Chain A
Amino acid sequence: MATVTNTPVSDLLKSFKLKTKQQELLIRVSILCLVYILAFIIRLFSVLRYESMIHEFDPYFNYRTTLYLTQNGFYDFWNWFDYESWYPLGRIIGGTLYPGLMVTAVLIYRILHFLRFAVHIREVCVLTAPFFASNTTLVAYFFGKEIWDTGAGLVAAILIAICPGYISRSVAGSYDNEGVAIFALLFTFYLFVKAVNTGSLAWSLASAFGYFYMVSAWGGYVFIINLIPLYVLVLLITGRYSMRLYIAYNCMYVLGMLLAMQIRFVGFQHVQSGEHMAAMGVFFLMQVFYFLDWVKHMLSDTKLFQAFLRITVTCAVAVGTIALGLGMLSGYISPWTGRFYSLLDPTYAKDHIPIIASVSEHQPTAWSSFMFDYHILLFLFPAGLYFCFKRLSDATIFIVMYGLTSMYFAGVMVRLILVATPAVCLISAIAVSATVKNLTVLLRSKNKGVLTGSTKGSSSSKASSKALLDQSQPFQKNGAIALLFGAFYLLSKYATHCTWVTSEAYSSPSIVLAARGAHGNRVIFDDYREAYFWLRQNTPADAKVMSWWDYGYQITAMGNRTVIVDNNTWNNTHIATVGRAMSSYEDEAIEIMRSLDVDYVLVVFGGVTGYSSDDINKFLWMVRIGGGVFPVIKEPDYLVNGEYRVDKGAAPKMLNCLMYKLCYYRFGEMLTEYGKPPGYDRARGVEIGNKDIKLEHLEEAFTTSNWIVRIYKVKPPNNRW
């Protein structure tokens, strides 16, 4: 045991008559409690500044399904066919969602109600993500303890509690799959590493359940089912295999696969989809490998074994390739789907699937994003890799592989920075913990060195080296203190950065916008909710609303009306039809709208407020997606010399298409900025080209107070004379 120096804290602890080991336990537990609370409260900025509401677009769908689950029970939820979206097709919700998040929220809701806390389900939904972020810090602690030691576990817990890469998708109000899925991911990995380290069937069973929870929570489970076989393959190739690996992987694979197939959305993909074939291949490889190992163990004669080996390996390889080849050629094993194929070939989506390319989260990551989301972890990551390679074990190989593969994917797609965050935090924690440990050992060893130097001063053979050691001690100690101060400075800067980033960048609800007024006071734009509640209260209950797919979930959740397309984007042709309607002249568009029974059209317009994520800025994507299915829509028709303009020099098709007319109707008379002509579009910074807009088949139904959302009613056909 290290000697405890006399500090007030240790005096206090001594007054409790605690032994050193108990002191250490107390410190550890209190640190973990503080980290748990910290992870929760750092995510509460938007709740404190605005109100407790659901953010963004996708969480509204999750909220609506959770509401349905609380009201109608699990059986109806599992078999739900929703006729209120994707009119006239409808959507099989029960079979096309990942139920983990909703079931978790309802479980927490039921537990709270059982304890007589009468909370509304919305509050539970808003706070689910921060709660699971706190749980993730605990899992990170245990994982760090498994890989390295308790110090690394503690540092990992604190790093992941405030890391902006994770906060961005788990802030209070962001009721999305990732909030729960990252907890499930790290938990599954921890249980699997524990199973490989102990070789116990019970831990493998637990990791299979962890995998099941991950599959039920997020489509990103494909990462787990590919990383773990890759890890097993690396262990087999490097010769680090053991019986424990066999037990852990096989139990997890078979049970995990069976459990995963219970989720209807996943279905039979584990045996039919190309993305899951790696796991199956490694499973068969393992059986062959261990069988050969067993036979080798039984046979004493190596020559016979070589013959046997030759026969078996050729048979196995032949059977395997024939099966795989037949499967892929006949189409039974489907190739990698577009979403995951674009991770391997980033240029694929832009050429073939515009919908995937259009999502802003799917763009490649810039360096600034990495620095913004990771700060000092970015250079602690290679340092941690060095430490891991110095002390290779099954667990450190795993975390190195997880880190490297997830960093590659994080570089390809911005959204996947989230998946890399736990690995980066763990590896950086190893670096921090090992460095601080080495430095403090240097600090402590100074006392011992002086003592041994004085007592062994008589031994002549090492007298000179001891003298040298004594001489270098003072610099070593100063250097160690300086480095420790440097480390603490860096970590405090990290904490400041994380808090600032969370406060400035990741706490905006997106559905409520805020700006600074002329006198510095805060101005709130609540136009979205104003429009959706207008829809809810002023339109007939069976009205159908056409808008771009971004707003579909919000319209069904808050406006409670049927929509034509929504964020699920499962039917590209339907979205292309809407895109075509928005890009055509009014006469053509009305035909399409009448064929879809559209009653209201909703557009988002940022010209008055300077809001730049409006439909005019998204319009080119509508053109591209529409043009992808209907060749009559050609993108060059809307551009002038390759440039996208809305002012007088814009293309005539642009100035007269439906989207332009609906956004700028009556805008030509509007004075938006002092000193500028009427009709000055503040988002594009130009005066619009077509100010005198007349609508023939639509009439304006509602425009919100800041002109952000505009709703138009489709007029019934004229009476025939």
Chain B
Amino acid sequence: MGRTSSKEDAGALFHSLRSAYAATPVNLKIIDLYVGFAIFTALIQVVYMAIVGSFPFNSFLSGVLSCFGTAVLAVCLRIQVNKENKEFKDLPPERAFADFVLCNLVLHLVIMNFLG
């Protein structure tokens, strides 16, 4: 009894989420895709590290942190560009994107220094 109801719950949850997500604008979905790709790349690196060992630890850290870093920055961009956020309605999306590019530039420069 409990199991079927939780299964139904999970199914209903899934459908509800899917329908709500389908309503989001295309540019936000592109950003979400980017975030998903970055996290996926990070997970691959973690699995690789688990198999091979973490010897040049700075290389491992720089690889994983570049993925997480750019994912986090993309989420920040998504927040700033999303029309539903009232706090950011005065912020032109070009400015948000320029900030995003600048932060990514700094991130990757530091990563390149850290790769070793």
Query: Which residues of the partner chain A approach B72 to less than 8 Å between Cβ atoms?
Result: 250-251, 254
Q: Is the CB of A201 within 8 A of B13?
A: no
Q: Is the CB of B76 within 8 A of A201?
A: yes
Q: Is the CB of A307 within 8 A of B103?
A: no
CA distance A301 to B13 in the complex (A): 9
Q: Is the CB of A243 within 8 A of B73?
A: no
For B1-30 the 0/1 string (1 means CB < 8 A from A) is: 000001001101100110011000000000
Q: Is the CB of B21 within 8 A of A298?
A: yes
CA distance A257 to B102 in the complex (A): 17
For B61-104 the 0/1 string (1 means CB < 8 A from A) is: 11001001100110111011000110110010000100110110
Q: Is the CB of B79 within 8 A of A258?
A: no
Q: Is the CB of A261 within 8 A of B17?
A: no
Q: Is the CB of B102 within 8 A of A254?
A: no
Q: Is the CB of A247 within 8 A of B80?
A: yes
CA distance A451 to B43 in the complex (A): 74
Is A262 in contact with chain B by the CB < 8 A criterion? yes
Query: Which residues of the partner chain B approach A246 to less than 8 Å between Cβ atoms?
Result: 75-76, 79
Query: Which residues of the partner chain A approach B85 to less than 8 Å between Cβ atoms?
Result: 243
Q: Is the CB of B88 within 8 A of A199?
A: yes
Q: Is the interface of B mostly helix, strand, loop or mixed?
A: helix
Is A444 in contact with chain B by the CB < 8 A criterion? no
Is B48 in contact with chain A by the CB < 8 A criterion? no
Q: Is the CB of A307 within 8 A of B65?
A: no
Q: Is the CB of A304 within 8 A of B61?
A: no
Whole-angstrom distance from the CB of B55 to the nearest CB of chain A? 13
Is B106 in contact with chain A by the CB < 8 A criterion? yes
Q: Is the CB of A258 within 8 A of B16?
A: no
Q: Is the CB of A307 within 8 A of B13?
A: yes
Query: Which residues of the partner chain A approach B46 to less than 8 Å between Cβ atoms?
Result: none
Q: Is the CB of B80 within 8 A of A201?
A: yes
Whole-angstrom distance from the CB of A247 to the nearest CB of chain B? 4
Q: What residue of chain A has the Cβ atom nearest to residue B21's Cβ?
A: A298
Q: Is the CB of B61 within 8 A of A298?
A: no
Query: Which residues of the partner chain B approach A259 to less than 8 Å between Cβ atoms?
Result: 110
Give the size of the chain B interface in residues (CB under 8 angstroms): 39
Which of B65, B75, B77 is in CB contact (< 8 Å) with A257?
B65
Known: A254-B69, A299-B20, A307-B9. A244 touches B87 (CB 8 A): yes
Is A465 in contact with chain B by the CB < 8 A criterion? no
Whole-angstrom distance from the CB of A545 to the nearest CB of chain B? 38
Chain A, interface size category, equals 20 to 34
Known: A205-B103, A243-B87. A304 touches B13 (CB 8 A): yes
Is A266 in contact with chain B by the CB < 8 A criterion? no
Which of B65, B88, B99 is in CB contact (< 8 Å) with A243?
B88
Query: Which residues of the partner chain B approach A257 to less than 8 Å between Cβ atoms?
Result: 65
For A298-314 the 0/1 string (1 means CB < 8 A from B) is: 11110010011000000
Q: Is the CB of A299 within 8 A of B79?
A: no
CA distance A291 to B3 in the complex (A): 26
Is A242 in contact with chain B by the CB < 8 A criterion? yes
CA distance A202 to B80 in the complex (A): 12
CA distance A301 to B8 in the complex (A): 14
CA distance A199 to B82 in the complex (A): 14
Q: What residue of chain B has the Cβ atom nearest to residue A257's Cβ?
A: B65
Query: Which residues of the partner chain B approach A201 to less than 8 Å between Cβ atoms?
Result: 73, 76-77, 80, 96, 99-100, 102-103
Whole-angstrom distance from the CB of A245 to the nearest CB of chain B? 11
Is B114 in contact with chain A by the CB < 8 A criterion? yes
Q: What residue of chain A has the Cβ atom nearest to residue B66's Cβ?
A: A258
Query: Which residues of the partner chain B approach A104 to less than 8 Å between Cβ atoms?
Result: none
CA distance A205 to B48 in the complex (A): 31
CA distance A244 to B96 in the complex (A): 13
Q: Which residues of A229-271 are within 8 A (CB) of B?
A: 242-244, 246-247, 250-251, 254-255, 257-259, 261-262, 268, 271
Whole-angstrom distance from the CB of A190 to the nearest CB of chain B? 19
Whole-angstrom distance from the CB of A79 to the nearest CB of chain B? 14
Interface residues of B (CB under 8 A from A): 6, 9-10, 12-13, 16-17, 20-21, 57-58, 61-62, 65, 68-69, 72-73, 75-77, 79-80, 84-85, 87-88, 91, 96, 99-100, 102-103, 106-107, 110-111, 113-114
A-B contact pairs, 9 of them (CB 8 A): A242-B87, A246-B75, A251-B76, A254-B73, A258-B110, A261-B61, A262-B113, A268-B57, A301-B16
4 A-B pairs closest in CB distance: A201-B99, A298-B20, A254-B69, A247-B76
